[in-house]
């Protein structure tokens, strides 16, 4: 009985550990988080405007990712590409724009 318990505990520990994300996966998740923030956030009042995140450069700080995004903005017949800076939480759930 003790061996079964130890085996289950070891298996649970192995599956509970988070695997480290590859840099490509981090980039993709950062792009998705920023795109979600820009296109669907209630704070962003840009009706009729769509944003496409083209690229991201990031630095993994202690409590967040410090990011610089290249973003294409489209509204009607006009479009422009620019740079936006933001902090993104390590779980990719929170985006804080920087000016």
Report, as ranges of residue numbers, the positions in the chain whose pLDDT lies below 50.
none
Domain map (residue ranges) of the chain: 22-98
pLDDT at position 90: 94
How would you class 36 by CB atoms within 10 Å of its CB: exposed for 0-12, middle for 13-18, buried for 19 or more? middle
Where do runs of H (alpha helix) occur along the chain? 2-16, 23-40
Q: What is the pLDDT, as a whole number, of residue 45?
A: 66
Q: Which of 80, 85, 18, 25 is nearest to 49 (CA)?
A: 80
pLDDT for res 43: 72
What pLDDT sits at residue 29? 96
**At a CB cut-off of 8 Å and minimum separation 6, what does 11 contact?**
none
Q: Are 54 and 38 in contact (CB under 8 A)?
A: no
The confidence score (pLDDT) of residue 40 equals 87
């Amino acid at each position: 009985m003790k061996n079964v318990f130890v085996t289950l505990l070891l298996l649970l520990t192995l599956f509970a550990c988070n695997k480290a994300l590859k840099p490509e996966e981090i980039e993709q998740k950062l792009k998705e988080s920023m795109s979600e923030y820009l296109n669907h956030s209630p704070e962003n009042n840009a009706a009729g405007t769509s944003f496409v995140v083209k690229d991201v450069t990031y630095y993994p700080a202690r409590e967040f990712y410090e990011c610089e995004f290249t973003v294409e903005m489209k509204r009607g017949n006009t479009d422009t590409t620019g740079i936006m800076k933001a902090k993104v939480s390590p779980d990719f759930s929170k985006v804080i724009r920087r000016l």
